[in-house]
């Protein structure tokens, strides 16, 4: 099992601050812990290591960590703040159990999109949003043991990013294979075939990566969804592949549908990749966005070429007709 990447503290240190042993002790104790610590929890932890560190220093260090981007201050309405990791840990929302006071993390692109829409409709520039669901967690309700957390949100995010990418890749493969089958123009068919091949290959890479991730932490597979995103449940090309099933789709239309799909997909992955804090899931999204961009360009080039060739053929036919009628 992988050790989570630790931040390079020297690099992150805010300008004009210097190293200190005590601070290191506090930061390390914080990073070693998971979940959401209150200042007091942290003081208790520290007390086990160094009796001589004062409460004030813990508060000051907490503030320092927030500035340095190592920690985020969160408010669960308890009348005091808690702190969570923020280094390579995507922003997320919370489920908060009022019974055991545990909190669980999730992310929803769908909710984020709606929140953005509301903000826009109200002329509001959103900088940050908080979504908290208060209630009772499964463990508390059923009395069974808590479902063994274990995996970090960062890993779950990577897992879900990969799952979404794989679903998209699969639907893309389906789309391009079908398009190649129905294409009449030889060049167009070649493009679709090439893209299908690429999707196939990339799908392999993604699946290997997914298996690798699971090997690093086998608990990942059974853990519940972290990133909720309806749009990609069946892959972003699913709608396009569906459209191809209609009667009488010609090459130009197939290209158009492909362009629409790649554009939507590129936009989605880029946008979400950029949104998240530095993390493996973010990387996956951005790489994927890049891939989609390349495909998009290829399709557009091919589309333009096809339109041009059709025009030339038409012009040639016109010229021929003119010659024929002249010679008559």
Site map for DNA, 8-47, x if CB under 7 A? --------xxxxxxxx--------------xxx-------
Q: State which H helix or E strand residue 62 sits in.
A: helix 55-68
Task: Tell the smallest beta-carbon distance from residue 73 to its own copies (Å).
Answer: 8
Minimum Å gap between C-beta 9 and DNA is: 11
178 CB contacts (<8 Å, ≥6 apart)? Answer: 241, 244, 245
The residue from 1, 54, 138, 181 that contacts DNA (CB under 7 A) is 54
CA dihedral 16, 17, 18, 19 (to 10 degrees): -150
Using CB under 7 A as the binding criterion, the count of chain residues that bind DNA stands at: 24
Residue 121, binding choice from its own copies, DNA, none, Cβ under 5 to 8 Å by partner class? its own copies
**Rounded to the nearest whole angstrom, what is the least distance from the CB of residue 122 to its own copies in the complex?**
6
In the range 210-249, which residues lie near DNA by CB under 7 A? none
Backbone angles phi, psi at 177, to 5 degrees: -65, -45
* CA atoms within 13 A of residue 138's CA, in its CB half-sphere: 8
From its own copies, DNA, none, interface partner of 2 (C-beta below 5 to 8 A by class): none
56 contacts DNA (rule: CB under 7 A): yes
**Residues 292, 266: contact at Cβ < 8 Å?**
yes
Which option in DNA, its own copies, none does residue 326 bind, with CB closer than 5 to 8 A by kind? none
Which residue, 67 or 110, is less far from its own copies as judged by CB? Answer: 110
Mention every residue, 6+ apart, whose C-beta is less than 8 A from residue 198: 295
Residue linked to tokens 């109200």: 122
Q: How far apart are the first and last CA of the chain?
A: 84
Could you say which of its own copies, DNA, none residue 311 binds, taking C-beta under 5 to 8 angstroms by partner kind?
A: none
Of 2, 5, 44, 59, which lies in the binding site for DNA, with binding defined by CB under 7 A? 59
Q: How far is CA 97 from CA 47, 82, 138, 294, in A?
A: 28, 15, 9, 45
Among 48, 77, 79, 224, binds DNA (CB under 7 A): 79
Cα gap 250→185, rounded to integer Å: 9
- The stretch near DNA (CB under 7 A) out of 58-66, 247-255, 275-283, 303-311 is 58-66
**Residues within the interface to its own copies (CB under 8 A):** 75, 77, 95, 97-98, 104, 106, 108, 110-111, 114-115, 117-119, 121-138, 141, 224-225, 228
Residue 106 touches which of its own copies, DNA, none (Cβ within 5-8 Å per kind) = its own copies
Smallest gap from Cβ 66 to DNA, in A, equals 10
CB of 119 to its own copies, least distance (A): 5
User: How many angstroms from the chain centroid is the CA of residue 89?
Assistant: 12
Closest to its own copies by CB, 29 vs 107, is: 107
> Pick from DNA, its own copies, none: which does 61 bind, CB < 5 to 8 A by kind?
DNA
Asked whether 157 and 276 are in contact (CB, 8 A), the reply is yes
Residue 50 C-beta: closest distance to DNA, Å: 7
What count of other Cβ atoms lies within 10 Å of the Cβ of residue 282? 21
Backbone angles phi, psi at 72, to 5 degrees: -125, 140
The closest alpha carbon to 106, from 120, 92, 116, belongs to: 92
Shortest reach from residue 131's CB to DNA, in Å: 21
Locate 164 and state its tokens: 């979404």
Q: How far is the CB of 12 from DNA (least distance, A)?
A: 12
Q: How many whole angstroms separate alpha carbon 26 and alpha carbon 15?
A: 19
Q: Which helix (H) or strand (E) holds 93?
A: strand 93-97
Tell me which residues touch DNA (CB under 7 A): 16-23, 38-40, 52-57, 59-61, 63, 79-81
């Amino acid at each position: 099992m992988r050790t989570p990447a630790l931040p390079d503290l020297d690099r992150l240190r805010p300008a004009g601050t210097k190293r200190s042993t005590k601070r290191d002790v506090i930061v390390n104790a914080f990073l070693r812990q998971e979940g959401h610590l209150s200042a007091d929890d942290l003081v208790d932890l520290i007390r086990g290591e160094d009796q001589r560190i004062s409460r004030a220093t813990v508060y000051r260090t907490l503030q320092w960590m927030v500035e340095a981007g190592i920690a985020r201050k969160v408010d669960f309405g308890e009348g005091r703040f808690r702190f969570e990791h923020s280094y390579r840990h995507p922003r997320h929302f919370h489920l908060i159990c009022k019974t055991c006071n545990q909190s669980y993390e999730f992310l929803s692109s769908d909710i984020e999109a709606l929140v953005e829409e509301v903000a826009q409709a109200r002329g509001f520039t959103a900088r940050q949003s908080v979504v908290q669901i208060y209630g009772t967690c499964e463990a508390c309700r059923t009395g069974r043991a808590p479902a063994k957390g274990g995996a970090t949100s960062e890993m779950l995010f990577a897992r879900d990013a990969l799952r979404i990418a794989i679903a998209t890749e699969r639907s893309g493969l389906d789309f391009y294979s079908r398009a190649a089958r129905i294409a009449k123009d030889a060049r167009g068919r070649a493009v679709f075939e090439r893209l299908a091949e690429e999707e196939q290959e990339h799908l392999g890479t993604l699946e290997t990566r997914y298996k690798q991730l699971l090997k690093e932490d086998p608990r990942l597979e059974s853990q519940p969804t972290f990133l909720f995103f309806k749009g990609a449940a069946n892959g972003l090309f699913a709608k396009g592949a569906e459209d191809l099933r209609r009667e009488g789709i010609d090459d130009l239309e197939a290209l158009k549908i492909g362009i629409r799909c790649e554009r939507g997909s590129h936009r989605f992955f880029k946008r979400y990749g950029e949104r998240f804090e530095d993390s493996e899931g973010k990387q996956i999204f951005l790489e994927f966005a890049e891939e989609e961009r390349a495909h998009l360009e290829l399709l557009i080039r091919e589309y333009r070429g096809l339109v041009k060739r059709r025009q030339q053929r038409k012009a040639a036919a016109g010229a021929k007709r003119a010659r024929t009628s002249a010679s008559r």
